[in-house]
């Protein structure tokens, strides 16, 4: 292999790496993909929700054999206090369509399937191989990688860095910064197994339909964070994540948060008698638009989580990963077809394609949101959930207090806690960050 030169080396077999390797190989490029896990997926962690549209653009008939869990028909948003949740649920039968829009998946199974498709397209996938260093030529251009296998470096025209949020190669080579504590969330997750009939009864589901619960509030103890419960066929993915900078400040333990979350009275009955079979942890890029690094250079591009491609507000990560992986491969193919060298100037095509796609447009829309969540976390995740919970309890509980008095007490409670200017400021800040 040392004497061979590839068109493309892809580092990593996650969503973005598999998308890049698949599309590049499909277009006839000579592709080598390196994965440090025992099998593709063995190092990968996600909630996980798969967005059909973005995968369909890569593997149109994926529904025929991809390991999918449940298609989602209902989304619940819960604002949690210590003893309650105030929820908004959206459920629609239109999601029971021939080609459903979103699915829950189990990443180790899904990634293995996706990797099989990559091999079918002719890419060489080398597992149990950790890429340790980028190799640069005399002019500083990336020309290959070194691995922890014996033998010399492996060379390629372009290296696609699909190495994930904590990728070492790009940051060690000075191509991008190491993730910052305020721009990444640490999430922990458990897999709770139970019979599928139990899941269907508890979540009011028919057959393969599924439910998502996204929960925020006092469960993150004033830190910027969210909890989630996703229904799989015979298991529930239960997790919670908060910004690393907030963890460092509070010293809360992630597993303590997770245990408190699943003991919450709103969740406990849903999880009762489950058998827990795995506990995982992972960083999630949360910096958004302002954290996106330089995406291309001489002989390299960066895709997926390594490029901070995650829409934290809509909880979309894997689809941005798949899309940037696909666009990178398409850009590389175009440069190759034009017989141009793989310089930064020519690979800038990839950045233009990302800018023109929903990926950058969505990130740009929420460019101020990460900062707001970071600076206002105790208000947004502690104060307001408590205020809302008290207001809802007063609204619902019948105790002979005249309704007008109850309303006045609710308003007083909000004003006493946040003041009129504070409330107004919070509303304006949130509206502006949302726009």
Partner 1 sequence: MTAPVKGPRVEEKLYQNRYQVDAGKPHITVAPHDTPSPNLLAMTRICPAGCYAQNEAGQVEIVADGCMECGTCRVLCEETGEITWNYPRGGYGVLFKFG
Q: Which residues bind partner 1 (CB under 8 A)?
A: 36-38, 41-46, 48, 106-109, 111, 127-130, 147-149, 165-166, 168, 178-181, 184, 186, 188, 190-191, 235, 244, 247-248, 251-256, 258-259, 263, 276-283
- The least CB distance from residue 109 to partner 1, in Å, is 8
> % helix / strand / coil in the chain, to the nearest 5?
40, 25, 35
The smaller minimum CB distance to partner 1, of residues 110 and 366, is found at: 110
* Cβ neighbours of residue 411 closer than 8 Å, sequence gap 6 or more: none
- The least CB distance from residue 129 to partner 1, in Å, is 4
The smaller minimum CB distance to partner 1, of residues 258 and 354, is found at: 258
Element (H, E) at 359: helix 358-365
- The least CB distance from residue 185 to partner 1, in Å, is 10
Nearest to 167 by CA among 158, 176, 154, 155: 176
The smaller minimum CB distance to partner 1, of residues 57 and 233, is found at: 233
CA dist., res. 288 & res. 371, Å (int) = 10
* Cβ neighbours of residue 21 closer than 8 Å, sequence gap 6 or more: 8, 10, 13, 31, 33, 118, 121, 123, 125, 160, 325, 329
CA dist., res. 223 & res. 207, Å (int) = 37
- The least CB distance from residue 54 to partner 1, in Å, is 19
The smaller minimum CB distance to partner 1, of residues 263 and 364, is found at: 263
- The least CB distance from residue 191 to partner 1, in Å, is 5
- The least CB distance from residue 130 to partner 1, in Å, is 5
DSSP, residue by residue, 277-320: EEEEEEEEE--GGGG----EETTEEE-GGGGT--BTTTTB-HHH
The smaller minimum CB distance to partner 1, of residues 23 and 45, is found at: 45
User: Does residue 215 sit in helix, strand or coil?
Assistant: strand
The smaller minimum CB distance to partner 1, of residues 80 and 327, is found at: 80
- The least CB distance from residue 15 to partner 1, in Å, is 11
With 0-12 / 13-18 / 19 or more C-beta atoms within 10 angstroms meaning exposed / middle / buried, residue 423 is middle
The smaller minimum CB distance to partner 1, of residues 85 and 351, is found at: 85
Please, what's the largest Cα pairwise distance for the chain? 85
CA dist., res. 138 & res. 423, Å (int) = 58
CA torsion through residues 35, 38, 39, 40, sign: negative
- The least CB distance from residue 80 to partner 1, in Å, is 16
Q: Are 285 and 14 in contact (CB under 8 A)?
A: no
């Amino acid at each position: 292999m040392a004497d061979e030169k590839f068109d493309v080396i892809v580092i990593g077999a996650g969503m973005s790496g598999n998308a890049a390797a698949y599309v590049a190989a499909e277009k006839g490029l000579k592709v080598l993909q390196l994965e440090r896990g025992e099998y593709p997926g063995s190092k990968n962690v996600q909630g996980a929700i798969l967005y059909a549209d973005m995968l369909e653009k890569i593997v149109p008939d994926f529904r025929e054999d991809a390991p999918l869990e449940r298609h989602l028909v209902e989304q619940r948003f819960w604002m949690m206090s210590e003893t309650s949740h105030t929820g908004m649920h959206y459920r629609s039968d239109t999601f029971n369509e021939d080609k459903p829009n979103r699915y829950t998946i189990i990443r180790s199974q899904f990634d293995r399937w996706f990797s099989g498709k990559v091999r079918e397209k002719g890419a060489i996938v080398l597992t149990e191989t950790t890429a340790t260093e980028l190799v640069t030529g005399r002019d500083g251009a990336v020309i290959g990688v070194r691995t922890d296998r014996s033998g010399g470096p492996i060379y390629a025209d372009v290296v696609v860095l699909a190495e994930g949020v904590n990728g070492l190669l790009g940051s060690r080579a000075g191509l991008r910064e190491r993730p910052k504590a305020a721009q990444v969330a640490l999430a922990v997750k458990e897999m709770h197994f139970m019979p599928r009939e139990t899941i269907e009864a508890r979540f009011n589901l028919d057959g393969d339909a599924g439910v998502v619960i996204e929960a925020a509030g006092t469960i993150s103890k004033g830190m910027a964070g969210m909890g989630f419960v996703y229904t799989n066929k015979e298991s529930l993915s239960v997790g919670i994540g908060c910004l690393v900078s907030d963890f460092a400040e509070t010293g809360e333990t992630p597993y303590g948060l997770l245990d408190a979350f699943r003991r919450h009275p709103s969740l406990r009955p849903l999880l009762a008698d489950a058998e827990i079979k795995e506990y995982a942890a992972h960083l999630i890029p949360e910096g958004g638009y302002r954290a996106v690094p330089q995406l291309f250079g001489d002989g390299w591009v960066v895709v997926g989580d390594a490029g901070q491609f995650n829409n934290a507000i809509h909880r979309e990560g894997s689809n941005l990963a798949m899309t940037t992986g696909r666009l990178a491969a398409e850009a590389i193919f175009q440069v190759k077809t034009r017989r141009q060298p793989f310089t930064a100037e020519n690979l800038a095509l990839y950045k233009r394609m990302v800018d023109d796609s929903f990926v950058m447009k969505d990130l740009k829309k929420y460019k101020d949101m990460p900062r707001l969540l970071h600076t206002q976390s105790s208000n947004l995740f502690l104060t307001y959930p408590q205020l809302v919970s008290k207001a809802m309890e007063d609204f619902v509980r019948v105790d002979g207090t005249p309704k007008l008095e109850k309303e006045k007490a609710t308003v007083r409670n909000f004003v006493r806690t946040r003041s009129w200017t504070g409330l107004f400021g919070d509303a304006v800040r949130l509206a502006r960050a949302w726009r």
